[in-house]
Amino acid sequence: MSLWPVYTGSSEPHDGIDRLPEPPPWRAFDGGPALATPADGDDTSASSPDRLHRARTYRATDRAVQLVNAALYLRRPLLVTGPPGSGKSSLVYAVARELRLGPVLRWNITSRTTLRDGLYQYDPLSRLYAAGRAAARDQRTAGREQLPLDGELQDHLRLGPVGTALLPYGRPRALLIDEIDKSDLDLPNDLLNILEEGQYEIPELVRAARHTPTAEVMVDGTDDRVPVARGRVRCRAFPFVVLTSNGEREFPPAFLRRCVRLELHQPRDTHLEQIVRAHLGEPDAYARDLINRFLSRGTDGELATDQLLNAVYLTGVAGLDTASRDELAEQLMPYLSRTGDEADTF
């Protein structure tokens, strides 16, 4: 029986990830002890109703299905490039839901983001205040055993989305690194070094290992705790990592060669109608006319699919006459950018 594809794009959850072949020898990881992937019932593959809706309604192209499977088989990050509204971030939620990878871990990138932000957050001031309060209590309680300060470190440290994704889960976690092109110039290569090795260290826990060989640290998104031995984390099942980019900058070859690359375009023709149907049901005559006009206008400038969805929904529920609906739809679908000096007419 063919093992390809694991991800089918059908939007029906299944356990196909369990039949994923062994990784290439150069992408095999042996972290442990193995952790159970968080429960991924129908409401946990996305952390909010809108993301769950996007996961259920996402319609992947054949090319997207092929390259998602390539990334899964090769245990490589997937770099997804495309204009706003082309479905870059929705893809990871759809894959996580279908393959039951648990809640998606999301890291939003800005120009000030550092690699450590994605790995873990440590608050030394809160630990200092806690140690001062503990010392005051100990002074009031004569003869009470003094605990080393390093024993409290784990209470002031939380793993970030990248740090959590690289824990030794039995199944891969899904990690979205959103808008990587907005980052500092050095972040892509710094990040890819971590993902290449599949491991990292937490220096504060490494130094504390003499007093606390194993720390129970909080993970991203919940108050659950996992054991980290001697401050070192190594993955077991390489996470499904999606990095999105709006194409606003060039990435160095060292970064690109470590990624599977997928370029998305604005949906066209039948694909666009499938998306409208998935979100809003069978389009009526006016909605079909809006789709056709949206496609026609797309030759003169950049539009996003969610603009069309907003227009189809609102003109369908507002109870307006045709002229008023046309005016409303025009206001909801302005060009995001223009290819020339054409007037923005509907």
Where exactly are the structural domains of the chain? 16-122+151-263, 269-338
Q: What per-residue confidence (pLDDT) applies to 45?
A: 43
Confidence class for position 44, pLDDT limits 50, 70, 90: very low
Mean pLDDT check: name the lowest of 116-130, 181-195, 218-232, 255-269: 116-130
Over residues 305-313, mean pLDDT? 94
Confidence class for position 197, pLDDT limits 50, 70, 90: very high
List, in sequence order, the alpha helices (H) in the chain: 49-57, 62-74, 88-99, 115-119, 124-140, 161-165, 187-197, 203-208, 253-256, 269-280, 285-297, 305-317, 322-332
Confidence class for position 133, pLDDT limits 50, 70, 90: low
Over residues 300-307, mean pLDDT? 89
- Torsion sign, CA atoms 8, 12, 16, 18: positive
Residue 87 tokens read as 């479905």
DSSP class of 143: T
Count how many Cα atoms sit within 13 Å of the Cα of residue 294 in the half-sphere of its side chain. 28
Q: What per-residue confidence (pLDDT) applies to 156?
A: 83
Mean pLDDT check: name the lowest of 130-144, 194-208, 240-254: 130-144
What CA–CA distance (Å, rounded) separates 95 from 175?
Answer: 11
Q: What is the CATH number of domain 16-122+151-263?
A: 3.40.50.300
| Among the listed residues 104, 118, 120, the one whose alpha carbon sits nearest the alpha carbon of residue 180 | 118
> pTM, whole model, 2 decimals?
0.87
Q: What is the mean pLDDT of the chain?
A: 87
